[in-house]
Amino acid sequence: MTVPRVTRRTVLRQLAIAITAAGSGSVNLEAARLVHTIAGESRAQPGGYTPIQLTVHEFRTVSRLAELIVPADTRSGSAVDAGAPEFIDLLCSQNDQLTTIYQNGVRWLDATASKQFASNFIDTSQEAQTSILDGLVDAERGRDSNNYREGVTFFSWIRRMAVDAYYTSPIGIRDIGYQGNQVLSSYETPPEVVDFVTRAGDDLGL
């Protein structure tokens, strides 16, 4: 092979030169926007999802947990709104080790709920469900009065993945306040931000 695939680049260059020649003064922005249009590939979240790896019961349990871990509230939607259960199901379908973690985790959760509340986790009350999560957090922090140690690994996996799914979604990105990934013609740190840091520096005696 000796022929490079540079056609689009060449087109872009010529376009950039043409725009400059036309004197619009916005060559950078226009050229950059063009390439980013070529690049654009955002996807809508799928609706009416059928799990591909987890059983329906496991998927429902994972969904309920994701909702408790990152709930909808006054600031924003939940991890379920952000697609966490689908994300977890997909990765499980590609990784047996992960599937085992989730299968064992759901089994442990149901066994624990049955023992204490005589039903599967998703069929217990919200109060019962949060009491199990409280116990898991305690166990994670070394205060394991319920002997929940066995569930902690699973809990930290689903929390990690639910949180990741949330913050990598449009909902989470808006919530956290990330304002970048833009095409700008110049960069500036806004004056109110500079003022904030200046005050912080003064307060610290720097």
Partner 1 sequence: MSALQSRSEIRDVVVIGSGAGGATVAHVLTDLGIRVTLLEAGPMLDPYQEFKEHNWPYSYDHRGAEDGGGRYFGTGKPFGFFATTSGSWDLDGEPYTVADDTKDFWWFRSRIVGGRTNHYGRMSFRFADYDLKPRDRDGLGWNWPISYDDLSPYYDKAEQFIGVVGSREGLRSAPDGLFHDPPPPKAHELLIQRASHKMRIPCIPNRRAVITRSINGRPACHYCGQCGRGCRAGSNYSASQTQIFPALETGRLELIDMAMAREIIADETGQINGVVYVDKRSGQERRLSCRVLVLAASACESARLLLNSKSPTHPDGVANSSGMVGRYLMDTVGYDIGGTVPAFEGMPRYNSDGAGGSHLYMPWWGLDRENELGFPRGYHIEIDGGYQMPSVGMFGGAASRAGYGSAIKEQAYRGYGTQVSFAGRGEMIPNEATYCEIDPNVVDRYGIPVLRFHFKWSDYELNQAKHMNSVFSELITSMGGTPQPPGRRDAEGISIGGSIIHEVGAVRMGDNPRESVLNQFCQAHDTRNLFVCDAGSFVSNPDKNPTLTINALAWRASDYLANEMRRGVL
- State which of positions 98-157 bind partner 1 (CB under 8 A): 98, 133, 137, 140, 156
Considering only the stretches 55-63, 85-93, 103-111, 113-121, report the one whose residues sit in contact with partner 1 under the rule CB under 8 A.
Answer: 85-93
Closer by beta carbon to partner 1, 115 or else 126: 126
| Neighbouring residues of 19: CB distance < 8 A, sequence distance ≥ 6 | 26, 27, 30, 31
State yes or no: residue 16 binds partner 1 (CB under 8 A): yes
From candidates 47, 48, 73, 115, binder to partner 1 by CB under 8 A: 73
Task: Write down the least CB distance from residue 166 to partner 1, Å.
Answer: 8
Asked if 148 contacts 138 with a C-beta cutoff of 8 angstroms, the reply is yes
Distance of CA 56 to the CA centre of its chain: 22
Question: How many C-alpha atoms does 49 have within 13 Å on its Cβ side?
Answer: 23
Closer by beta carbon to partner 1, 81 or else 118: 81
Question: How many C-alpha atoms does 115 have within 13 Å on its Cβ side?
Answer: 10
State yes or no: residue 21 binds partner 1 (CB under 8 A): no
State yes or no: residue 70 binds partner 1 (CB under 8 A): yes
Of 162, 110, 157, residue with least CA distance to 132: 110
From candidates 109, 124, 148, 159, binder to partner 1 by CB under 8 A: 159
